[in-house]
Amino acid sequence: MSLRERLLASPERPYLFERSEEVDWDMTFEFAAVGMLAWLRESAFRPRSRSKIVQDAWVAASEGNLERFVLEGLEVIKEAELGKRAANSLRLALGEDAHNPGVESQWGRDLICAYEDPNVADHGAPHGRVVKAWVMAGLKEIPELRHTHSVVSMVRSMMDFPYSHDMAKAYWEYKNLAEERVSPTVGHNFAGANMKLALHTRYAQENGVRKRDAWRVEAFAAAMGLLHSEPEKFKERREAQGKTLTRNAGTLVGLWDENQLDVLSLTPAQTMRMGAYLRRGVGGDVDDPKLGLPRDFVREYGPEIGRLRNNHDPLIIELDDRDREAFWLAAELCVWADRMAMIAPYQNSVFRTFLSPQSKDRPLYPSGLTPGQVLEQVAAAKGDLVDGQDSDVRRKMFEIIDLDNFSPDSLVGKSDFVRLVHKDNAMLGALAFRRIAGAVMRGDLHEVNELYERRMTRVREKALRRSGYSLGEQVWYRNLAPHLFNLLSNGQDRYMRFMDGLIRAGSFDTERYELKLEKLKIERNSLLTILAKKRQPEELENCLEVIDGEIDWLRRHYGVNEREMRRYEQMVERWQSPSMQPYKDAESLGGEPHLLREPSEVAKRLFHFGSLASNHR
């Protein structure tokens, strides 16, 4: 089928997947209008370089390929739209038991709560949303990924990656909130990949597709997930061609650690053994010790897991050179997006380091070390240090400095878009961390409260826009009323109460709005508790010397002149976002995601319950 025929597919030739029978949403998504509307939303209403669109189109037109340029762009955006809906349909459906319709899934319940709990935001739904935004930004801003090096065959797996790559980690972190003693990090990439493979039949069931097509989507997503936890090894693993038939878990893990195994040649039986081997002794009472997977998941998906343990075929049996190249480009973009979510949006990520479980056991600055020694740690270390000498300043500076070390010579790494967002977010992130770290070490947490108040104000403004008021009323409420309230004593607090009253009186879901504010308050209070223990006035000068040293390095590395430096400083002073941030606002009011079809009553009820996770542990 030609590209144009696929975009204008008739009912006789279903667009998304070939099927023996139609499902209820086939006709809804069979028209090019879906791609056009998705393209309009992604290009016109979300941050995107307009000049880049015109420039790329001009080059295509000059080469006589304008029509194909447009159709290929629509193809990728349409695949992304359908892939997002399919991934959301699966995610929402997990609340219902796989083999007992109408019965709530205990594992699904805990996972949905984990995604929504503000104490697990580091790897939950907020993290997934940011990763997805950066994946979409890469697809839109790097034209080669849509055209000369198209990843269109991988897009559905790419849309599955954002919420699934850390699913095991988020689940284990949530269980630890209930005083469980589980390592959420060790082997989480293999556990997540094995869970995705076991869920491929559920993906097929919920989205009305053939199991072999669902396997391909989930297998590629699982392989991407295997690669995300050690991005520093991505290049070596991309070049690895090793294959082995051994079933010895220790040997397999050794070969994997030495970057000698081709990830796509691994078999499900091997990944299951490797996952179980890595999780030995770290899963507590939560995991099945023989499988390295959550007991509740094993209880529900036992038949699927049994088939995986006896599956000795490669993850992808039929793989040509074109698909292999597309996979590695797609995987690179996804792993890069996961790394970007560590430092962007910088207004939120400046606190991400402090909210991680590791931060609770380390100081902001390591007493006993000189700034020079800490700078050497930043330059030499990978990930977290395990010798007791780690610190928040070392970890944050490493995350920022290490950005350009990820595949710098690849198609993705060399793109103008990636270079620009690295420069902006590295500079803004370092300057913002300097501002917050200095205040915390002095014991002044006013900056923290101020930033969370700004975030809550944005939530109020977003809710007000959805509350059914006319444009004129919104201008009055949002732009003029604040000035009048500022003339009164406690004017800011009175204005916030005024906005709360307007939102409650409007048409927006009040419970969802109040829940979002409550989550931000919980996150803020948890953060304040952690930061109160990090007061180190005696180490303030040393800490700032380390940060200033890294800022100087960043300026030289990116060629930041005095004018640009002043602009970055002003942006941090006002907590402004860079122009190429792929979302207008990182604060989400939640709600049901876009789906392919209506979910079950159990799934809908549990999804709503999951949004109240912080109140129902």
Nearest-CA neighbor of 293 among 311, 281, 275? 275
Inform me whether the pLDDT recorded for 589 exceeds 80.
no
Neighbours of 529 (CB within 10 A): 10
* Per-residue pLDDT reduced to its tens digit, 232-291: 899 999 999 888 889 899 999 999 999 999 999 999 999 999 999 999 989 888 999 899
Say if residues 378 and 389 touch (Cβ distance below 8 Å). no
pLDDT of residue 405: 84
Alpha helix stretches (DSSP H) within 240-357: 249-257, 268-278, 295-300, 302-309, 321-343, 346-355
pLDDT of residue 374: 93
Inform me whether the pLDDT recorded for 6 exceeds 60.
no
* Per-residue pLDDT reduced to its tens digit, 272-285: 999 999 999 898 88
- Return the percentage of the chain with pLDDT > 90, whole number: 46
- Token pair of 125 as six digits: 């739904």
Mean pLDDT value across residues 155-183: 91
- The DSSP 8-state label assigned to residue 311 in this structure reads -
Say if residues 467 and 506 touch (Cβ distance below 8 Å). yes
Higher pLDDT, 359 or 4: 359
Mean pLDDT value across residues 419-437: 95
pLDDT of residue 592: 56
- For the chain, how many helices (H) and strands (E)? 29, 2
Say if residues 554 and 427 touch (Cβ distance below 8 Å). yes
Nearest-CA neighbor of 394 among 423, 368, 421, 373? 373
Mean pLDDT value across residues 143-157: 90
Alpha helix stretches (DSSP H) within 360-475: 371-380, 392-401, 416-442, 446-465, 471-475
Higher pLDDT, 522 or 552: 552
Inform me whether the pLDDT recorded for 46 exceeds 60.
no
Lowest mean pLDDT among 50-54, 336-340, 491-495: 50-54
* Per-residue pLDDT reduced to its tens digit, 58-109: 666 666 676 677 777 778 888 888 898 899 889 889 989 999 988 999 999 9
pLDDT of residue 596: 64
What's the CA gap between 157 and 165, in Å, rounded? Answer: 11
Lowest mean pLDDT among 11-15, 48-52, 277-281: 11-15
Lowest mean pLDDT among 3-12, 324-333, 575-584: 3-12
Inform me whether the pLDDT recorded for 5 exceeds 60.
no
Inform me whether the pLDDT recorded for 9 exceeds 50.
no
Say if residues 292 and 119 touch (Cβ distance below 8 Å). no
Say if residues 424 and 577 touch (Cβ distance below 8 Å). no
**Residue in the block written with tokens 């599956």:** 311
Radius of gyration in angstroms for the set of CA atoms belonging to the chain, rounded to a whole number? 24
Say if residues 394 and 527 touch (Cβ distance below 8 Å). no
Inform me whether the pLDDT recorded for 201 exceeds 70.
yes
- Token pair of 254 as six digits: 């050794």
pLDDT of residue 356: 81
pLDDT of residue 38: 61
Lowest mean pLDDT among 443-452, 463-472, 548-557: 463-472
Angle between helices 125-141 and 66-93 (to 10 degrees): 170
Band (pLDDT 50/70/90 cuts) for residue 24 is very low
Nearest-CA neighbor of 436 among 425, 445, 424, 427? 445
- Token pair of 375 as six digits: 């700078």
To the nearest whole number, what is the mean pLDDT of the chain? 84
Nearest-CA neighbor of 42 among 135, 163, 140? 140
